[in-house]
Amino acid sequence: MKKYWQIFSISWQNGFVYPVSVLFWRLRQFLLTFMSLTIWTVIFTGHQQAFGYTQKDMIAYVFLVGFLQSVILATVLTNLGSDIYTGQISNTLLKPINLFATLAAQDIADKLKNFGFIIVETVILFLIFKPSIVFPPLTTLLIFIFSALLGAVLLFSIMLLFGTLGFWTPDTWAPRFLFYMFIDFTAGKLYPLNIFPPLLQKILFLTPFPYLSYIQTQIFIGKYTLMETAQNIFILIAWIVTILFLFRFFWERGLKEYGALGR
Amino acid sequence: MLKRLKIYWIVWQTTAKYALAELLVSRWSSLIFFVGKGARFAMTLLFLLLLKQSLAGIGGYTTDQVVVFFLTYQLTDNITQMFFRGVYTFSWEVRSGELDFYLSKPLNPLFRILTGKPDFIDASFFIPTTIFSIWLISTLHLHITSVSLITYFFLLMNTFLIAAAFHIFVICIGILTTEVDNVIMLYRDATALSRFPIDVYREPLRTILFFIVPVGLMNTLPAQFLLNLKPTTTVLLSFAIGGGFFLLSLWTWRLSLRKYTSAGG
């Protein structure tokens, strides 16, 4: 465990080597959430309700999902595919450490680094928009935290799966680009998914995207019954297991074909 | 002068051919990028159309008018990315020393950096989205006249002048810090604020986005003139700010070149 703690510590320090880069990244996330909150504030000017939400509910929703996605969607696994394709991963494979535990330690360090900034951003947004956040009962809050952690695990699994593309192609950015495009609209960041027509909602819920942050926010604001909460968490876990299974399949196939020279 | 322009045209053509060849080598990736851009366009439009079904207006604008603001942003963003995609890979050119080759050639290096890698994915996306946008606008309840249309296209020239200035600023930051990726995306996020009319934002952000970081002049103002709405500012002031912004970017470029230290390659 000590070596993974060292990896965590080094990753944490590495995250601040280029502080301007971090600052710009956080500024971008802040702008996105700010835009969403502003637009919804304007939409509700002159309207009591829209899509079954009051202004208070919608602002609370956008505020929460912005906070949640900033933590869940932060990842260091974006370079895994290119590390595999270029052979850089050989260094890690040869060492007496578990690659996935290493990646997990690095990811946790990155998320915690982002979490620190998110607190500051949240305070600023809170002072500007003054959302009415009603904390749920303790049980619901614990379920929310648990589901949020599962959301982070789901993204980690998805990024691992994308990483396996590196065994066969250098073009790993294009599928990730498509994934991020879909996440922008289907993980519920700009608007809750239940504003869509029922058929489109059904289609979206066949994908893992709503389980990254949308269902967690709905759990927090009390939109789900206990049965619906249990069902969604079960589906979330099922997605994690499925994607990890797919990852393991492609990873083992990829490793059989993998070769790296000169390292 | 004509001979000089011909040289620039030949250089641009050559780099465009290389860019097209690179795109065709990775056909599947290019297709995925195309689909991703289409998905982004479609989902935002879907959101606006859902708003239209539920609400009469947003921030003093009808939802039909808000759609026009979004389509204007889409048009200018598309064209800008088509021509200025070269800026996105500039950090590599600085770190590798490739910039030195640009500086040593008898060709304006700014031209080379800005336009060195035209994006044919955006070019191919431009045609169907423009046709679709024109069709969509024709179905909306809008008050567009021939005068407002001419003014709109006239103001779009200012839009591209400001966009060029922004990209030059990004290049300057790239030379001074080698940090381009997040800066260019920050520019994209700032312009994305103009998907909706800038005057829906609160002060002082509204003033900042119109007159200091003039994304409002890029997209909101042309759309206001097109729709015969009360414009935030005049055409003359808009061009004055756009021109001033562009001149400032050129001055910053010259300053950053003086500070540039080669990679030693």
Model pLDDT for residues A137-173, shown as the tens digit of each residue: 999 999 999 999 999 999 999 999 999 988 888 888 8
How much is the pLDDT for A262?
Answer: 60
**Rounded mean pLDDT of A80-97?**
85
pLDDT in tens, A225-252: 999 999 999 999 999 999 999 999 999 9
* Alpha carbons B251 and A164: distance in angstroms, whole number: 46
How are beta strands B57-58 and A53-54 bridged, if at all? Answer: unpaired
* Alpha carbons A210 and A185: distance in angstroms, whole number: 10
For residue B208, is pLDDT > 60? yes
How much is the pLDDT for A216?
Answer: 92
A186: left (phi over 0), alpha (psi -120 to 50) or beta: alpha
For residue A260, is pLDDT > 80? no
How much is the pLDDT for B265?
Answer: 46
Nearest neighbour of B32 by CB, restricted to A25, A46, A175: A175
Is the Cβ pair A171, B29 closer than 8 Å? yes
How much is the pLDDT for B263?
Answer: 60
Structure tokens belonging to residue B81: 């990315």
Give the CB-side neighbour count of residue A81, counting CA atoms within 13 A: 20
Q: Which domain holds residue A244?
A: 2-257
Q: pLDDT category, B145, cuts 50, 70, 90?
A: very high
Is the Cβ pair A21, B182 closer than 8 Å? yes
pLDDT in tens, B154-187: 999 999 999 999 999 999 998 888 777 788 888 9
Is the Cβ pair A35, B54 closer than 8 Å? no
Phi (first) and psi of residue A49, to 5 degrees: -140, 155
Nearest neighbour of B185 by CB, restricted to A28, A38, A185: A28
Nearest Cα to Cα of residue B219 among B69, B63, B84: B69
Q: 3-class DSSP state for residue A53?
A: strand
How much is the pLDDT for B239?
Answer: 95
* Alpha carbons B4 and B2: distance in angstroms, whole number: 5
Q: Smallest CA–CA separation between A148 and chain B, in Å?
A: 25
How much is the pLDDT for A33?
Answer: 87
How much is the pLDDT for A263?
Answer: 52
Q: 3-class DSSP state for residue A196?
A: coil
Give the CB-side neighbour count of residue B6, counting CA atoms within 13 A: 3
Is residue A263 one of the residues assigned to a domain?
no
Q: What is the pTM of this model?
A: 0.87
**Rounded mean pLDDT of A84-108?**
86
Residues of B at the A interface, defined by Cβ within 8 angstroms = 26, 28-30, 32-33, 35-37, 39-40, 43-44, 46-47, 50-51, 54-55, 57-59, 177, 179, 181-183, 185-186, 189-190, 192-193, 196, 200-202
DSSP code of residue B216:
I
Nearest neighbour of B36 by CB, restricted to A28, A43, A181: A181
**Rounded mean pLDDT of A93-120?**
87
For residue B100, is pLDDT > 70? yes
For residue B25, is pLDDT > 70? yes
What is the identity of the amino acid at B5?
L
How much is the pLDDT for A95?
Answer: 84
Number of independent structural domains in chain A:
1
Cα three-residue angle B258-B262-B263, rounded to 5 degrees: 155
Interface predicted TM-score (ipTM): 0.83
For residue A67, is pLDDT > 60? yes
Sorted by sequence, the CB contacts under 8 Å of residue B147 that are 6+ apart come out as none
Structure tokens belonging to residue A257: 């074909």
For residue A18, is pLDDT > 90? no
Q: At what angle do helices A99-129 and A2-14 cross, to 10 degrees?
A: 50
Q: 3-class DSSP state for residue A206?
A: coil
DSSP code of residue A169:
-
Cα three-residue angle B13-B17-B21, rounded to 5 degrees: 170
For residue A35, is pLDDT > 50? yes
**Rounded mean pLDDT of B241-249?**
95
- Residue A184 near chain B (CB below 8 Å): yes
For residue B104, is pLDDT > 60? yes
Structure tokens belonging to residue B84: 């200025």
When the pLDDT of each residue in chain B is averaged and rounded to a whole number, the result is 90
For residue A61, is pLDDT > 70? yes
